Amino acid sequence: MTGTEPLLRVTGLEAAYGRARVLFGVDVTVGPGELLCVMGRNGVGKTTLLNAVMGVLPPTGGTVVFDGEDVTGVPTHERVRRGMGYVPQGHETFPQLTVAENLQVTLEASRHRDKGAIDEALEIFPRLKEFLGRRAGFLSGGQQQQLAIARALVTRPRMLILDEPTEGIQPSIVQEIEAAIERLHKENGLAVLLVEQYLELALRLADGFVIIEGGAVQRAGTAEDLHDEEVKRLLAV
């Protein structure tokens, strides 16, 4: 891979639920170390886009190239092994397993199986250290979200793909999650594809953004362009 080649290149991606088409040709690229924010109103297809990128929902058209390789037909778990760390909307964890077990099973499914990855993830979310023996289902929503991101980190991803990681979470933990994403991006140089509806958070974190509307990217730009009136109009409820 050359320095100018994007880490993720999504071209003409189409997705549908049965006959209901949601995405009509989405183009998105994320460079190495870049944080790209995917924005758009409720129900425009942001989650559908991430699921199609990960192969959770097989796309009906278009291609997904990760790290120079076409992964469009590759199973989701194999994409994870190749470095696409996905944290779906709604902080998914194994609720019956403890925090430690959640991290351990993820490590066992990872390509590297290096125990140090668990300590690294706990270093990013130190609050989780207090709850290692607690079942994930008994954590607060914000703690579960931290665990969900920590699990993705245990796989040592090259790119983190996050679907509204601060949605419905108490403000103090929102700050911790935002700080963790910022640190992973700025200090560790991790590429991030972040679905986020809040303009303020996107302004603080993103290098670039795309706005989805009508099944395609209606607007793309750098963080500064987020101040434009047209952007506000596209995001207004």
Binding of residue 237 to ligand ATP (CB under 6 A): no
Site of interaction with Mg ion (CB under 5 A): 46-47, 89
Among 13, 48, 160, 181, binds ligand ATP (CB under 6 A): 48
Among 2, 3, 4, 42, binds ligand ATP (CB under 6 A): 42
d(CA 203, CA 14): 28
Span of 35-43, 77-85, 102-110, 176-184 interacting with ligand ATP by CB under 6 A: 35-43
The nearer residue to ligand ATP, 46 or 156, going by C-beta atoms, is: 46
The nearer residue to ligand ATP, 39 or 190, going by C-beta atoms, is: 39
d(CA 237, CA 235): 6
CB neighbour class for 110 (10 Å; exposed up to 12, middle 13-18, buried from 19): middle
Binding of residue 143 to ligand ATP (CB under 6 A): no
CB neighbour class for 11 (10 Å; exposed up to 12, middle 13-18, buried from 19): middle
Kindly give, in sequence order, each residue whose CB lies less than 8 Å from that of residue 167, ignoring residues fewer than 6 positions away: 89, 90, 197
- The structure tokens 């949601």 sit at 22
User: What DSSP character marks residue 84?
Assistant: E
Please report how close the Cβ of residue 51 comes to Mg ion at its closest, in angstroms. 9
CA distances from residue 194 to 21, 114, 159 in whole angstroms, order as listed: 23, 26, 10
Token digits of residue 166:
């601060």
152 binds, among Mg ion, ligand ATP, none (CB under 5 to 8 A by kind): none
48 binds, among Mg ion, ligand ATP, none (CB under 5 to 8 A by kind): ligand ATP
Among 6, 10, 46, 80, binds ligand ATP (CB under 6 A): 46
User: In the window 73-92, what residues touch ligand ATP (CB under 6 A)?
Assistant: 89
42 binds, among ligand ATP, Mg ion, none (CB under 5 to 8 A by kind): ligand ATP
> What is the DSSP track for 111-170?
SS--THHHHHHHHHSGGGGGGTTSBGGGS-HHHHHHHHHHHHHHT--SEEEEE-TTTT--
Span of 15-23, 74-82, 105-113, 131-139 interacting with ligand ATP by CB under 6 A: 15-23
206 binds, among Mg ion, ligand ATP, none (CB under 5 to 8 A by kind): none
Binding of residue 19 to ligand ATP (CB under 6 A): no
Reference 103, options 152, 165, 159; nearest CA is: 152
